Amino acid sequence: MADTLAAPAPPTSPDPNGDSTSDANDRVPLLGRIVAVVIIGALLWFGLNAIEKWPFTGWRLYSTMKGPTAGSFFAYRLGPNEGLHRIRYRDLPDAYSRAPYLLEKFDRRTPAERERVCDSLAKGERDQGREVAAIHIYWDRYEVKLIDGDRVKKHIEHEFRWECAADAKDSSGEKSR
């Protein structure tokens, strides 16, 4: 009879030797499974019990304050009428959004690097239509307290450190339009 089909052959083993027991060799060794379970269990136990023992942690890395005070450098624009105005980076083009990070280690920069940073800030302010006589850098320090779960800052120091970008020379390295 020509209309009958032959029965399909049983599937062959992926092992060239025909050994179907090789599936057991594909499993992670028992010792590896035990070590993984112990590490995961220890992470969970330390985390749930808020125990801080290296390398395990209670996941509280940034949930507590570092100390009672905090300080940073802030840039201010000196206007033509000697008025001091804090530079608001959100009012500048997006390219200036990371500018506050340039001020983090401002005291460790060379005078030429400081001048370039200030010239860039002055250029951004001028491009927004603001008059800039100079850029002043101040060290501001705050007392930080935790009140009802919120960090409350009290201004305790406002110290002038540098004046820069006080001349018409632009050393920012930015292309002029």
In a domain, 84, yes or no: yes
In a domain, 128, yes or no: yes
Lowest-pLDDT choice from 21-30, 45-54, 62-71: 62-71
Token pair recorded at residue 175 = 């292309």
In a domain, 175, yes or no: no
- Same domain? For 135 and 107 the reply is yes
Q: What domain range is 15 assigned to?
A: 9-61
Choice between 161 and 21, residue whose per-residue pLDDT is larger? 161
Q: End-to-end alpha-carbon separation of the chain, Å? A: 89
- Same domain? For 137 and 155 the reply is yes
- Same domain? For 48 and 111 the reply is no
- Same domain? For 52 and 79 the reply is no
**Cβ pair 13, 20 in contact under 8 A:** yes
**How high is the pLDDT of residue 169?**
66
In a domain, 40, yes or no: yes
- Same domain? For 31 and 99 the reply is no
- Same domain? For 48 and 18 the reply is yes
- Same domain? For 57 and 74 the reply is no
Token pair recorded at residue 118 = 């200030």
- What letter represents residue 25's amino acid? N
Please tell me the distance from the alpha carbon of residue 150 to that of residue 23, in angstroms, as a whole number: 57
Return the beta strands (E) in the chain as ranges: 69-78, 84-86, 134-147, 150-164
> Is this prediction's pTM over 0.75?
no
**51 has pLDDT over 90:** no
Would you give the DSSP letter of residue 165? -
Average pLDDT over residues 51-55: 68
How many other CB atoms sit within 10 Å of the CB of residue 117? 21
Question: For the chain, what is the domain count?
Answer: 2
